[in-house]
Amino acid sequence: MTLKERVAVRPFIMDKNLGAAVNLDTLDLTDTNADGKPVIELTPQQKYEFDLRGWLLIPGVLGEDEVAEMRDFCLRLQHDPQALAAHERNALGGPLQRLADHPQVVGFMNEFVAHPPLAGQDCYGFRQESCHLFYRTQGQGKFSPHNGNGMLRFPGDSHTYHCIPGKANSGLTRVVWELNPVEKGTGGTLFITGSHKSVYTAPDTIHDPAFPLWETYSCPAGSLLFFTEALTHSAITWTSPTDRVAIFSCYNTVNSKWHNWNPPAELVATMPPKRQTLYRPVHAQDNLIGAAYQH
């Protein structure tokens, strides 16, 4: 029997009142992004892999022209920021803002981060709460393991991971766009696969980058990496002769905020209305935009 032939588990998700179930048939998760492009849903295999591992790599999401445009802006931002308007001097500037709600990102967030009752066709059920350029040359970056055990964290910590049969929620989730190739073992992010669900304290040997449970990846330029911040992970010294050019973002539910970061208001004002909902106020009650709020 193939994966497609298996019967999907329909999760029982409690609503906030009296143990009643959320009516899954009335949920209206966003179908298109702010540019009108159809959302790309995760495949059953991708959902399984992310839940199992705590991280998911999707190679080659961006085409060559897109990569070149994004990377060119990043190099200007890194080396000549004064040539850019003040509100564009950040990792959401210029063409980079299109990465914030790329169809593949929205598809992932709809599945693992969004609070469905606060989603609609005019607003996302999740929010972006940080976005930065990571530019590294040889010798930059250091090994510093952190996080893990997300199944046991209280919600206010944000670094949580919750799951029931047929559904999982990742809480604070990291999204990385790799705009240059990454060769395995030359400085890409390291992971202890499955540690977001671990119930034991990590051994001291985890502080050695040669510890055999550390995993990493290789990918072409334009690849997309997701990982839950509930996973044990670490940077490592960048040793590749090709500089690392990556956009690191974090996403969270619409009623949670971990980072002390906000995008420039002038920049947000230039965005399409739906993209602006990624930065709406952090609360749950009535936090809907447009037609969804009328229902």
Report the chain's terminal Cα–Cα distance, integer Å: 41
What's the mean pLDDT when you consider all of the chain? Answer: 93
Domain ranges across the chain: 28-294
CA distance 160 to 196: 8
Q: Taking Cα atoms as reference points, which of 92, 256, 279 lies closest to residue 172?
A: 256
CB 242 within 8 A of CB 187: no
Q: What is the pLDDT of residues 110-125, one digit of tens each?
A: 999 999 889 999 999 9
DSSP per-residue letters across 179-240: -S-B-TTSSPPEEETTGGG--SPPPGGGGSTT-TTEE---B-TTEEEEEETTS-EE------
Region 30-38: mean pLDDT is 97
Inter-residue contact 219 to 181 (CB < 8 Å): yes
28-294: CATH homologous superfamily?
A: q2cbj1_9rhob like domain (2.60.120.620)
CA dihedral 126, 219, 185, 205 (to 10 degrees): 30
- Whether the pTM exceeds 0.75: the reply is yes
Axis-axis angle for helices 103-112, 44-53 (nearest 10): 60
Q: Are 129 and 257 in contact (CB under 8 A)?
A: yes
Which of 121, 125, 130 shows the shortest CA–CA distance to 34?
121
pLDDT in tens, 148-207: 998 888 878 889 999 988 899 999 999 999 999 999 999 999 999 999 999 999 999 999
As a whole number, mean pLDDT of residues 274-288 equals 95
